[in-house]
Structure 1
Amino acid sequence: MCRSADVKQAVLAHNDDLARALRAELDGRGVAVVNLLSSPGSGKTELLGRVLARAVERGVPVAALTADLATENDATRLARSGAPVRQVLTDGLCHLEARQLRGHLTGWLPEDTAVLFVENVGNLVCPASYDLGETLRIVLMAVTEGEDKPLKYPTAFGSAHLVVATKTDLAAAAGFDEDTFRANVQRVNPGVETVRTCARTGDGVDTLLDRVLAARASGPAHRPPLAPHPHSHNHGHAPEPSAADAPAGTPDHAPHTRPQPASAP
């Protein structure tokens, strides 16, 4: 049992080393990386599509990498924004790791990218303990999921730089108690900001994009330390992606043209 725990800690330590190096490299290029975590069905993809489209309208050069166990559905949806998008198929793995991210960015990420959004695999357990070298970690939760979600998943919510409530147009119908939700967020992550959003109406989209651009302007955020990885997690870690794997595992949905960067995002 101890040996298994030691192996897991070694894997996480190696990932953290790679994440620090990737963060420094991308920060040197002026690229902010936003790691989006949520459970399935939170509306993460729809909201990200709206944010990408708004960034394109505002002349901010953005890109997105979206991870799923199967299908290219999310990449197809996100590509409608006009931003370059790449799909990563994890073949059953429940999270992304820093070495996967580095491998899939090599030779693909446009040079003028200001913000790279990474839509992690949809769950709040496996991805929570893996640093991807992000500038900003955002954890999203739909109002239909219940006010106690932050208490049930303290590793994810406790490591967030920003918490986003989605599908707020359904709050009344779901009987969502926003005050209790915000209090629970503060219990696991004191001082973190919570933003209300609704992809259907566009509410909060500009606010969310502004928070991301502010994080980019200020440099890599001082992220809270990740909580210990749960000992019950035993899903292994991902193999190093190769160029030969890219056509099948990383479909490219980049458009043919890119917006010009804004003079002052």
Structure 2
Amino acid sequence: MEIPVVRKVLDVNDTMAQENRDYFTQQGVYVFNLMSSPGSGKTTLLTKVLQKLAPEIKAAVIVGDVCTTNDADRLSVTGAPVVQITTDDFGGDCHLAAHVIRSAAKELDLTDIDLLIVENIGNLVCPAEFEIGEDSRGVVLSITEGEDKPLKYPLMFRVCNVAILNKMDLVPYLEVDADLAVKNMLTVHPEMPVFKTSATKDTGLDAFVDWLKGEVNKKFGK
């Protein structure tokens, strides 16, 4: 049974997300919503990705966390404009909603930005349910989380356009089957691109960066 008030909240969010999408398109900005559970290595990965994108793709980041500005501080060293959202100020939400992204985007000068990356709050459940006006969504799964997470949290992998299996450098030290993790992702979302990476070792990232560049250029016919 679907609770009407929940449906209304999602409908309102979806309407605002479409308004955001139209706005970002008018500004010539591609929006990528990156999600994961806490500790997946998402911020380290983004730091490396931002460095590889420049100067060809000019990127900015909106970072979501319940508390602290730790991730924004780490990303700011790349030189990319960064805006931090801490949801503890308004109830500790476990996801970023469209109206929050709209407010945060006002803090950025989008006239010189090609790509806006949203580092969503660490959670494999709630962020998957809320569109924010993005063009595409990605999920980072750390190999340390085990092979079964795509099957336990299928919505997250079903709604994403791309997946990243991170911390591959740790495979020799774990009783984890990386190929099974990829197979489980593709069981939930067949034909989804999956990139195996190690952000700390800087391996596998170039292929993902090429994919992201291609998506940005495709939207604007470059």
Q: For the superposition of Structure 1 and Structure 2, which TM-score range results when normalised by the shorter chain?
A: over 0.9
Structure 2, unpaired ranges of 5+: none
Q: CA RMSD in A?
A: 1.7
Which residue matches 2:75?
78
Q: Is the 8 A contact 1:162 1:193 kept in 2?
A: yes
Provide the secondary structure at the position in 2 that maps to 1:111. helix
State the structure with more CA Rg: 1
Which residue matches 1:41?
39
Percent of residue pairs bearing the same amino acid type = 40
Could you tell me how far 1:60 is from its partner in structure 2? 2.0
Over 3 Å counting, the alpha-carbon distance change for 1:181 and 1:174 in structure 2 is same
More deviation, 199-208/184-193: 199-208
Could you tell me how far 1:177 is from its partner in structure 2? 1.0
Which of these residues, 26, 29, 45, is aligned with residue 28 of structure 1? 26
Paired with 1:178 and 1:205, the residues of 2 have a C-alpha distance of 17
Which residue matches 1:131?
131
Structure 1, unpaired ranges of 5+: 221-263
Provide the secondary structure at the position in 1 that maps to 2:25. helix
Provide the secondary structure at the position in 2 that maps to 1:186. helix
Could you tell me how far 1:204 is from its partner in structure 2? 2.0
Which residue matches 1:67?
64
Structure with more of its chain in helix, by fraction: 2
Listed as ranges, the matches of 1:1-265 within 5 Å are: 5-56=3-54, 58-91=55-88, 92-219=92-219
Could you tell me how far 1:7 is from its partner in structure 2? 0.5
Paired with 1:120 and 1:79, the residues of 2 have a C-alpha distance of 16
Could you tell me how far 1:200 is from its partner in structure 2? 1.3
Paired with 2:109 and 2:123, the residues of 1 have a C-alpha distance of 25
Provide the secondary structure at the position in 1 that maps to 2:198. coil
1:134-153 CA-to-partner distances (Å, cap 9, x unmatched) read: 11100110011101110011
Over 3 Å counting, the alpha-carbon distance change for 1:88 and 1:107 in structure 2 is closer
Which residue matches 1:253?
none
Paired with 1:138 and 1:187, the residues of 2 have a C-alpha distance of 16
1:118-147 CA-to-partner distances (Å, cap 9, x unmatched) read: 000001111110011111100110011101
Count residues with an aligned counterpart: 219
Q: Is the 8 A contact 2:83 2:107 kept in 1?
A: no
Could you tell me how far 1:107 is from its partner in structure 2? 4.2
TM-score, normalising length: structure 1:
0.79
Could you tell me how far 1:113 is from its partner in structure 2? 0.4
Amino acid at match of 1:104: A
TM-score, normalising length: structure 2:
0.93
Runs of 4+ in 1 over 3 A off after TM superposition: none
Could you tell me how far 1:202 is from its partner in structure 2? 1.1
